Structure 1
């Protein structure tokens, strides 16, 4: 997000602190309710203009040449798209706290796709936003990657979407990730139920360490970002407001990973949550290793 330059500097401290943190692990499958297809291109979203209220599974496919994600927000009554974008330029943390963050798909590489099931509980104007910066550090939304759509009240007799069965429950708190004790995360298709217990807005971005790389390599790269990144985007769940839940559909391969939240904290001078300790390494193991 516009977590850009300050995020990179402050995240270094959190990563170094996380080196001694225990690694984790887990297992799963997936399914969702009514579906919306979205394409992320350079620099726009191709998406429906109207969606009914209720639990909805968004499938984001990155058809561009750069990494992209999709953050969903609902504008409060009286706020325009232009007004919100102006607020973002002034102070990202304050601007995000002024809208309802309803989730979204974390960063994907070109050609990749992922699903997220979220609750569009209220009618209104929603925005799809990509905060991922380009090579010059300019957020994609500043290049036009913002799309508005309307959420309309579903008919009273409309069929209710069936929620996915969660393989793992993750709680987001100020400032950390809470997972069940002793959980083992195994490879394959799975669904994680991600709930924000706040009070600030939170996200769960997922990255896989590149082959042969360690958390020390990640910390070194963030201190001096030269050459290929030692982490590979693996999607995840974009930010939700306190009390909201989303279901992220993952397909994980064995390896070492980390989850982090980069949302800036209005209560902590805009520091990214990762710099406040909201980062956690975990490990995905082969199914044959789970005995």
Structure 2
């Protein structure tokens, strides 16, 4: 649940109407009508969110999300309130590790990127050796690439533990997850998943995608106009040439979209890879998961041209880029 920001209130378990009334009448009269409206909306969201729904906001170069959530099937709703493409890559870290340790990791990857770009290293003291603990993280999917002012919803099962959610999109060659300020963080958020289970069941997919590093993307189900739940089953997992595993993202192709350019952009090791601005309109998806894992993402399809695509080099020749059309009528 989103914590209340109004320090004038104690915890009150009554209807949203009375909460708004109390906000209006007591202790906060100096605030503007706009502030009242924003806080009332936040309270309404906190009260009305169903179990298993976690609100995440991309604001500036930060990810805002709860610090603690129950375990179980969880839908991460990423609202991109910025003018750049973002995502929410989720992984469970070993015990005792967290966002402070990530600062060292982010510096190493930034140095990698600087080397690829033949630029001076941003963090010379960090070197390019990946910390040993990172080999023990468990990748857990997360909201896929989502364009500005859009919302991505991805459902995954989260076990108890400590997790990080990050966005490593680049701007001017700098990962959003990297922050050179010693007292600051990049676009990364730490959260704890508790032993308490939310009791939520997995959603029922209307479209199924089986993804494999050997056989590519295999799609089944009627892809029609309207709302869909896309189930993604990871038949296997492998590390590709860009040190990433295969995943699934949805991209809308306009008349002028160059699919080869989109494919090349998905490789972060290229100087222009995952660099803002994106070459097409992204509508969400899921990041990689271990072999046997399942994730779901929620999309609204309109008539037009689209593609399923994975964040790996040479996705088309691997069968990990699949264009498709959505007709403006049901046959």
- When normalised by structure 2's length, the TM-score is 0.64
Question: CA shift at 1:217, angstroms?
Answer: 6.5
Match of 2:143 among 90, 101, 105: 105
Tell me the secondary structure at the aligned position of residue 86 of structure 1.
Answer: helix
Structure with greater contact order relative to length (CA < 8 Å, sep ≥ 6):
1
Q: Where does structure 1 differ by over 4 angstroms across 4 or more consecutive aligned residues?
A: 94-97, 216-225
Aligned to 2:21: none
Q: Is 1:196–1:241's contact at 8 Å kept on the other side of the alignment?
A: yes
- Deviates most, 137-146 or 228-237: 228-237
Residues 133 and 229 of structure 1: CA distance in aligned 2, closer, same or farther (over 3 Å): closer
Q: Does 1:137 align with 2:173?
A: yes
1:161 to 200, 212, 223: 200
Determine which of 231, 234, 237 is the counterpart of 2:283.
Answer: 234
Q: 1:91 to 1:281 in 2, by over 3 A?
A: farther
Structure-2 residue corresponding to 1:66: 84
> How many Å separate the matches in 2 of 1:102 and 1:187?
29
Q: Partner of 1:248 in structure 2?
A: 297
Q: What SS is found at the alignment partner of 1:131?
A: coil
Structure 2 distance, partners of 1:40, 1:224, is: 24
Per-residue CA deviation, residues 177-221 of structure 1 (Å, 9 max, x unaligned), is 33246x542222100111211132431022121224453675799
In the superposition, relative to structure 1, how do residues 208 and 96 fare at CA in structure 2: closer, same or farther (>3 Å)?
A: farther
Alignment of 1:73-88 (within 5 A): 73-87=91-105
Unpaired runs of 5+ residues, structure 1, are: 1-31, 264-271
Which residue does 1:16 correspond to in 2?
none
| Cα pair distance change 1:196/1:85, threshold 3 Å | farther
Q: CA deviation at 1:82?
A: 4.0
Question: Cα gap change, 1:85/1:169 in structure 2, threshold over 3 Å: closer, same or farther?
Answer: farther
The CA deviation at 1:281 is: 2.5
Query: 1:262 & 1:220 partners in 2: Cα distance?
Result: 9
TM-score (norm 1): 0.72
Counterpart for residue 21 of structure 1: none
1:1-291, aligned counterparts within 5 Å?
A: 34-87=52-105, 89=108, 90=128, 98-121=136-159, 123-134=160-171, 136-143=172-179, 144-154=186-196, 160-180=199-219, 183-200=221-238, 201-213=245-257, 215=259, 230-263=279-312, 272=313, 274=315, 277-288=318-329, 290-291=330-331
1:83 Cα deviation from its structure 2 partner: 3.7
Query: How many residues are matched?
Result: 245
CA distance in 1, matches of 2:282, 2:137: 26
Task: Provide the secondary structure at the position in 1 that maps to 2:324.
Answer: strand
Query: CA shift at 1:173, angstroms?
Result: 0.7
Hey, which of these two has a bigger chunk of strand by percent? 1
SS of structure 1 residue aligned to 2:315? helix
Greater Rg by CA? 2
Q: Is residue 154–residue 286 contact of structure 2 (8 Å, CA) maintained in 1?
A: yes
Could you list the per-position Cα deviations for residues 242-263 of structure 1 after superposition, in whole angstroms to 9, with x for gaps in the alignment? Answer: 2211110011222222222225
